[in-house]
Structure 1
């Protein structure tokens, strides 16, 4: 099973420029999480800080009991071996064929024989749909194939955590869907913890178990996908629907005067762009036929049902609506409990897996009734 990542109060700045501050979240082991946010909000910086390539100003990032913010260089080097990273452009060596690109980490970090290296490389190339392409150079293949080759290289050391930076960069929507399917298939096969940074809304709506969003140097929210997908938070709704109408502007944020002027323009009939507003929660993509069941999905369902009563009503209803008849029997939910308010998350403890220590949804720090009420409002031009 993939490693759990516990992040507490992580803050990063470059000189006087704050990138983000007091980020606190937990990546549950073996689950697929996505981090959204407008351009320039520090999503890639967040990935680099997680793996120790950049040192945060303060806070913790704990992986298997090791805080990589404060540990020794030797301990950091060893902990990095738990990670596999897929960069935006694949980051392949242009002078090496795909076989040598994928074999590079094994030759650099292990003492395996070439026979063993060949077995592993061909296995990972087949897992990512590149069997037979091992002799091709990066310049001879499509962008989608380069992404898959980068993923194969990220997998050769059997990582427990896989970080993915903008997987849709340079890909058309169809290839983006294929690479999304591949992430879920790989997760089902190796049960690694995934964190994907993306702008792609289709990917964010249909792939992850958990969703988060960075905006104005803060983590707006992070938790089960149903929470963001049903959120009434203006910045979340604007981003998920790709509209101009909202607090996000060309320079990330707008002041109240700009927002008022734009709102008057939209009320006068100017189209705000974006897609038609999508209501409800789209079904989550599933592993391809013949691929094992995702164990992370089962653990995630147990975890979410355990904390169901702490989630906003719309998210609760979305979760209940997604349950199959088998799930309803497993969790003891009858027809009389098919709507929010009838059950309030009172599940039999013997039927629900225990949460990992520190895992799951970030509980609100105040006494408010549910997590979204603690969020700052971004529709008034505040900073």
Structure 2
């Protein structure tokens, strides 16, 4: 299973410009998470801070007991081997063919023989649908193929954590869906922990197990997809529907006068754009038939059902209605009804090491989601 990432109170600035502050979240091991937010909110900066390319001013980022923020250079170097990173443009070496691009991490970080390198490289190229293209240069292939080659390179060291920055950048909607399918197929096979930074609403609604959102320099919410997709938090609701009606403006946030003027315009009949106020929990994409079942999705559903009773009634109903009859029967729920207390799955125990000690940095499953109403939202804190 992929590694768990525990972020506590992480704060990053460039000079006097605060990027984000006090970000706290847990990436559950083996699950696919997505980080959303308007342009310029520091999502890519967050990825770079997770792997130590940028150093936050405060907070912790714990991976297998190592704090990326304060660890030594040697510890950082070793911990980075747990990561695979897919950059926006693939970040391939233009003078190398795809085979050598994908082989580069193996030659740089291992002492494997060239025959072993060849076996692994061809395996990853086949996994990402690039079998037969290994001798092509990056300039000779499409943007979608470059993305897949970047993913193949990210996978060659068998990472426990895979970071993906804007996978839809430069891709049309159809290719974006194909690359999303590939992420889920890879997750089903190696159970790695994924964090995807994206603006793509369709990807955000249908791919990840967990969703987080940055806004006004803070993490507004983070938790299972069902919690975010049924949230009434204004900024989350606005972003997931792609509408102008809400607190996000062209310059990230609006003042009260702008919001009032726009509200009057919308009430007069002007269309707010975006999709037509999609509600409920849409079906999640599944691995390609023949692939193993995604264990991360099963763990997420167990976690959601353990906190279902604490969610607003409308959210409970939407979540239950999105489940198959078999799932409703398994969890002892039905549309329009709440689970009986005796039927609610017990939360998973805290992870323990072989000698019975609690593993440092691990949080309870119930600590993963910031539930609506449990604490002030980012926008509410900004007004206080």
State TM-score, norm by structure 1. 0.92
Residue of structure 1 in register with 2:265 after alignment = 265
Partner SS state of residue 213, structure 1: strand
- How many Å apart are 1:96 and its aligned residue? 0.6
Moved more, 82-91 or 276-285: 276-285
- How many Å apart are 1:339 and its aligned residue? 3.2
Counterparts in 2 of 1:175-186, with a 5 A limit?
A: 175-186=175-186
Counterparts in 2 of 1:1-383, with a 5 A limit?
A: 1-331=1-331, 333=332, 335=334, 338-343=335-340, 346-347=343-344, 349=346, 353-354=348-349, 356=351, 357-362=362-367, 371-376=372-377, 378=379, 382=383
Residue of structure 1 in register with 2:354 after alignment = none
- 1:379 to 1:249, Cα distance in 2 relative to 1, 3 A: farther
- How many Å apart are 1:374 and its aligned residue? 2.4
Partner SS state of residue 34, structure 2: strand
| 8 Å contact kept, 2:309–2:338 | no
- How many Å apart are 1:373 and its aligned residue? 4.9
- 1:345 to 1:263, Cα distance in 2 relative to 1, 3 A: farther
Deviations 1:245-278 (A, max 9, x none): 2111111011111111121222222222212111
Q: In structure 1, how many angstroms separate the alpha carbons of the residues matched to 2:82 and 2:374?
A: 36
- How many Å apart are 1:241 and its aligned residue? 1.2
| 8 Å contact kept, 1:13–1:20 | yes
| 8 Å contact kept, 1:256–1:380 | no
- 1:306 to 1:101, Cα distance in 2 relative to 1, 3 A: same
Paired residues in the alignment total 374
| 8 Å contact kept, 1:84–1:162 | yes
Partner SS state of residue 214, structure 2: strand
| 8 Å contact kept, 2:215–2:378 | no
- How many Å apart are 1:375 and its aligned residue? 3.4
Moved more, 115-124 or 262-271: 262-271
State TM-score, norm by structure 2. 0.92
Moved more, 301-310 or 175-184: 301-310
- How many Å apart are 1:34 and its aligned residue? 0.4
Q: In structure 2, how many angstroms separate the alpha carbons of the residues matched to 1:82 and 1:315?
A: 36
- How many Å apart are 1:329 and its aligned residue? 4.3
- 1:359 to 1:197, Cα distance in 2 relative to 1, 3 A: farther
Q: In structure 1, how many angstroms separate the alpha carbons of the residues matched to 2:61 and 2:218?
A: 17
Gaps of 5+ in 1: none
Q: In structure 2, how many angstroms separate the alpha carbons of the residues matched to 1:239 and 1:233?
A: 10
Partner SS state of residue 71, structure 1: coil
Deviations 1:303-348 (A, max 9, x none): 22223223333333333233334434443x055xx43445368525
| 8 Å contact kept, 1:49–1:56 | yes
Instruction: Provide the aligned C-alpha RMSD in A.
Output: 2.1
Q: In structure 2, how many angstroms separate the alpha carbons of the residues matched to 1:382 and 1:348?
A: 37
Q: In structure 2, how many angstroms separate the alpha carbons of the residues matched to 1:380 and 1:208?
A: 27
Deviations 1:112-144 (A, max 9, x none): 000000000000000011111101111111111
- 1:264 to 1:327, Cα distance in 2 relative to 1, 3 A: closer
